[in-house]
Amino acid sequence: MSDATTMTRRSDVIQDFARSELFDRTFQEGMDLVEQTAGYLDGSGRQESKLLSRNAALAYAAESMRLTTRLMQVASWLLVQRAVREGDMPAESACDDRYRLSGDVAAETHAASEDLPNGLLSLLDRSERLFERVRHLDRRMYVEDTEIEVPNPVASQLDRLRSAFGA
Torsion, CA 16, CA 21, CA 23, CA 25, rounded to 10: 180
* Global confidence as pTM: 0.78
User: What letter would DSSP give residue 143?
Assistant: S
- State the pLDDT at residue 119: 97
All domains in the chain, ordered by first residue: 3-165 (1.10.8.930)
Instruction: Identify which of 8-12, 108-112, 149-153 has the greatest average pLDDT.
Output: 8-12
C-beta separation of 98 from 156 below 8 A = no
Tell me: the pLDDT tens digits for 73-83? 999 999 999 99
Q: Measure the CA–CA gap between 45 and 40, rounded to whole angstroms.
A: 5
What is the share, in percent, of the chain residues with pLDDT greater than 90? 62
- The pLDDT confidence band at residue 10, using thresholds 50, 70 and 90, is confident
Q: What is the CA radius of gyration of the chain?
A: 22
